[in-house]
């Protein structure tokens, strides 16, 4: 399968713990996005990378959230001191080099539950 | 500011009948409009997009959408619904004026096709 891969699929953690998610985009896709989706809502933009550069960050991305894409390939999203309100599906997407209006390819997401 | 409205949380249609899933948008400049579909336990999949040109856009699985600038709408349509079309549908917009690279999604419409 050469689609966008996310790991883990599910994560259950206790409030106050740190969690880290990984996203492997489609090979040679230089654009990578993180979104968050809660029940009954559409995906909400968190952050955007072009290669290894983090070019955009949403106001939703509080200081407890940090994302990296160190070599322009895979990306990690870390949430420190998790809160119950962080419970959501975290989606990663990638798109190829070229026009910004290219479609996004989404992974299956990481479902986070904070107890 | 950009926004997307999907006025119907749920749409039910009989198999073989035409279906319409509604979407209206608000952007500062010219919109780039997208439809994505989400099946259970799977990532969002691209259906179609409008960037410029012909107002009627054809996409995957027999879906099409019509861009109406005066009504700021981009409704998704299919002439004959299949049971396998049952899923969650999201309309999304990117604002060309803001320069942001992210898509802004609606809250989704759950389509149920009744056999």
d(CA A65, CA A88): 14
Q: What is the pLDDT of residue A1?
A: 52
Task: Tokens for A5, please give them.
Answer: 């891969």
Q: What is the pLDDT of residue A56?
A: 87
Report yes or no: A58 at the B interface, CB cutoff 8 Å: yes
pLDDT per residue over A53-67, tens digit each?
998 888 888 899 999
pLDDT per residue over A29-59, tens digit each?
999 999 999 998 999 999 999 999 998 888 8
Q: What is the pLDDT of residue B100?
A: 64
Q: What is the pLDDT of residue B41?
A: 77
Evaluate the omega torsion of the peptide bond into residue A6 and state whether it is cis, within 30 degrees of 0: no
pLDDT per residue over B25-56, tens digit each?
998 888 899 999 999 878 899 999 998 889 99
d(CA B68, CA B22): 12
The owner of tokens 């070599």 is A71
Cβ-nearest to A106 among B32, B43, B49: B43
Q: What is the pLDDT of residue B52?
A: 85
d(CA B113, CA B13): 5
d(CA B112, CA B115): 10
Task: Tokens for A9, please give them.
Answer: 């699929």
pLDDT averaged over chain A? 92
Q: What is the pLDDT of residue B98?
A: 62
Question: Searching chain A, which residue's CA lies closest to the CA of residue B105?
Answer: A42
Find which of A43, A50, A55, A97 to mutate to test the B interface (most B CBs within 10 Å of its CB).
A43
Cβ-nearest to B46 among A41, A48, A104: A104
Find which of A33, A88, A104 to mutate to test the B interface (most B CBs within 10 Å of its CB).
A104
User: Picking from A4-13, A98-107, B30-39, B57-66, which range would have the lowest pLDDT averaged per residue?
Assistant: A98-107
Task: Tokens for B15, please give them.
Answer: 């198999």
Report yes or no: A56 at the B interface, CB cutoff 8 Å: yes
State yes or no: pLDDT of A71 exceeds 80: yes
Give the strand pairing for A110-114 and A105-106: unpaired
Min Cα–Cα distance to chain A from B48, Å: 9
Helix (H) or strand (E) holding A101, with range, is: none
Cβ-nearest to B49 among A33, A43, A103: A103
Q: What is the pLDDT of residue B97?
A: 67
SS3 percent helix, strand, coil of chain A, rounded to 5, is 5, 50, 50
Report yes or no: A100 at the B interface, CB cutoff 8 Å: yes
| % pLDDT > 70, chain A | 97
Find which of B30, B91, B96, B101 to mutate to test the A interface (most A CBs within 10 Å of its CB).
B101
Taking the CA of residue B77 as centre, how many other CA atoms within 13 Å lie in the half-sphere pointing to its CB? 12
**What stretches in chain B show pLDDT beneath 70?**
96-100
Q: What is the pLDDT of residue B92?
A: 95
């Amino acid at each position: 399968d050469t689609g966008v891969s996310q790991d883990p699929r599910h994560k259950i953690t206790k409030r106050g713990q740190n969690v880290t998610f990984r996203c492997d985009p489609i090979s040679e896709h230089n654009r990578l996005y993180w979104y968050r989706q809660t029940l009954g809502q559409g995906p909400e933009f968190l952050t955007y990378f072009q290669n290894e550069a983090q070019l955009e960050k949403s106001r939703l991305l509080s200081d407890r959230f940090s994302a990296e894409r160190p070599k322009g390939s895979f990306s990690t999203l870390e949430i420190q001191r998790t809160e119950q309100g962080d419970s959501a599906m975290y989606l990663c997407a990638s798109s190829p080099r070229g026009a910004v209006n290219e479609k996004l390819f989404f992974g299956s997401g990481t479902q986070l539950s904070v107890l | 500011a950009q926004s997307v409205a999907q006025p119907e949380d749920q749409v039910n249609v009989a198999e073989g009948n035409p279906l319409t899933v509604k979407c209206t948008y608000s952007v500062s400049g010219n919109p780039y409009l997208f439809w994505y579909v989400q099946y259970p336990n799977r990532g969002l999949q691209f259906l179609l997009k409008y960037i410029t040109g012909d107002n009627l856009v054809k996409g995957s699985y027999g879906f099409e959408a019509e861009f109406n600038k005066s009504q700021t709408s981009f409704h998704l349509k299919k002439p004959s619904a299949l049971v396998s079309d049952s899923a969650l549908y999201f309309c999304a917009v990117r604002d060309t004026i803001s320069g942001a690279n992210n898509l802004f999604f609606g809250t989704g419409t759950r389509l149920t096709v009744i056999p």
